[in-house]
Chains A and B, each alone.
Chain A
Amino acid sequence: MSVNSNEQVDPQCEHALRVAVERVVRPVYADEARKMRMRNELYAHALDAFRHERGRGVAAAQAIAAAVDRLGEPAELTAELQADTPWGSRYGAFIEQMTRRKAATPRWRFAAWMAFIGMIIVPGPMVLIQLIELTGLTRLSSPEHSEVFAKMMVYFACMAASCFGVAAYFGSLVREELAGEPRRRAPSWRVVGWSMTAGLLFLVAGLFFFPIVGSPSLLWHPVYVGCWLTLSVLVAAGMIFVAWSDVRERRELEQDWLALEID
C-alpha cells in the first residue's frame, strides 16, 4: 500500500471524504472531544486510502468512491462506534446538549435554564442526604447539625443558581465577542469587562446570600471578603479561559465539520 502523503488533494475531493466521515460520526452519541478524535482519525484514514487509490492510477472520482467503500457501510460503522462509546462520554454528550445555547434561544432564557440546572446539580447530593435522613432509616447528623445542613443547602442552591446563571449570560456574551474576532491574539477590553462583571456579580451573590448561613455581622470580616474577592478574580479569569478554548474548538467544529451537509 504505497501512499504519497505529500500529494495535494483537490478541495472537492477533501470535501467528499469529509462528508463521508461526517455521515459516520455525526449520529454517534458521544461527547464532542471524542467525536473530533473519530473525525480526525477516519478522515486521515480516508485521505490515505484516497491517495493510495490515486497512486494506483485510479481517477479521482473512482478513488473517492473506493476510499469511502473501504471505510465500510456508514450505518454499520456508526453502530460499532456507538457500541464502544463509554457511559462517561454519553453523559458528557448529555451535559453538552443541556448546556449549549441554541442560536434562537434568548440569552436571558439560557441563563435562567442554566441557573435552574446549577440549583439542581450543585446541592443535589445534599438534598439526597436530607431525604435519607427524613426517612428515619439512618441519622447522619444531630438535629442541630441538620439545621445547619439545611441552611447550607439553601445557600449552595442560591449560589449555584447565581453563578451558573451569571456565567451562562456573560459567558455567551464573551463567546460571541470572541467568535467575531477570529484572528485576535488577546481578548478585547469588552471581553475582559464582561468577565470582570461576572466575577463581581459572583462576589455580590456571595455577600448577598451570606446571611442565610452566618450572622450578618461577620459579613464584612476581611477573611471572608478576601476569600470572595479571590474567588471572583478566579471566576473572571476562568471564564475568559473557558470561553476562549470553547470558541476555538467550536470554530474548528463549525467551520470544518458541523457545516457539512450530509444528507
Chain B
Amino acid sequence: MPPQLQLTGVQLRGHLETIALAALEEGEAHGFEVLRRLEKSGSGALKLKEGSLYPALYRLEERGCLKARWEENPGGRKGPARRIYRLTPKGRRQLQAGREEWAAFVSVIGSIVGAPA
C-alpha cells in the first residue's frame, strides 16, 4: 500500500482536473460518486479534501469539458438533488492531453530525482 497522501485542492490544482475527468470516463456521476471512484482506483492512498473537487468540476464545466444536470429522479433518495456530470468530446480531448502531460512530467521529474517511471 503506498503511503497516504493528504492532498488539498491547491496542491492538486492542474492535476485535479485530469483526475476528475479520468473518473468521469467510466460514465456520468455526481461529485460524491467521482470521489468514490477516485478512492477505488487510488486503492485508498489518495485522501483529498473533498470540497476541492467542486471548484474543479465548475472550471471544467465552464470550459465545456463537462456537461452537468440536476438529478431528475432521486429515486426515493432523501435530501437535496445532486448534480450529475458527464464528459463532453472536448473533455475527452482534455483528458488525453492531461495524460500525455502527466507522462512527460513523471518522465522528466523521475529522471531528475533518480526514480524513473
- A: residues with CB less than 8 A from B are 1, 3, 5-9, 24, 37-38, 40-45, 47-49, 70-73, 76-77, 80-81, 83-84, 86
How many pairs of A and B residues are in contact by the CB < 8 Å rule?
87
Taken together as a complex, chains A and B put the C-alpha atoms of A187 and B62 apart, in Å, by: 37
Do B50 and A76 touch (CB < 8 A)? Answer: no
A70 touching B81, Cβ below 8 Å: no
Sampled A-B contacts (12; CB under 8 Å): A6-B78, A41-B83, A42-B51, A43-B80, A45-B50, A45-B51, A71-B49, A71-B50, A72-B52, A76-B49, A81-B58, A84-B58
What chain A residues lie within 8 Å of B90 (beta carbons)?
Answer: none
Main secondary structure of the interface of B (DSSP, over half): helix
- Asked whether B42 is an interface residue with its Cβ less than 8 Å from the other chain, the reply is no
Q: Interface size for chain B: under 10, 10 to 19, 20 to 34, or 35 or more residues? A: 20 to 34
Give every chain A residue within 8 A of B35 (Cβ-Cβ): 1
Task: Note all chain B residues with C-beta closer than 8 A to A81.
Answer: 54-55, 58
Instruction: Tell me, in angstroms, the Cα distance from A8 to B62 when the chains sit together.
Output: 35
What is the CB-to-nearest-CB distance from B34 to chain A, in angstroms, rounded to a whole number? 10
Chain B residues 38 to 63 lying within 8 A of chain A, measured CB to CB, are: 39, 49-52, 54-55, 58-59, 62
Q: A6-B78, A84-B59 are in contact. Are A44 and B30 (CB under 8 A)?
A: yes
- A127, B70: Cα distance in complex, Å: 43
**Residue in contact with A5 in the complex, picked from B8, B36, B77, CB distance below 8 Å:** B77
Q: Does B91 contact A (CB under 8 A)?
A: no
CB contact under 8 A between A71 and B51, given known A9-B78, A44-B32:
yes
List, in ascending order, chain A residues with CB within 8 A of B10's CB.
76, 80
Rounded to whole angstroms, the CA-CA distance of A43 and B81 in the bound complex is: 10
Contact A48 B51 (CB under 8 A): no
- CB distance A72 to B8 under 8 Å? yes
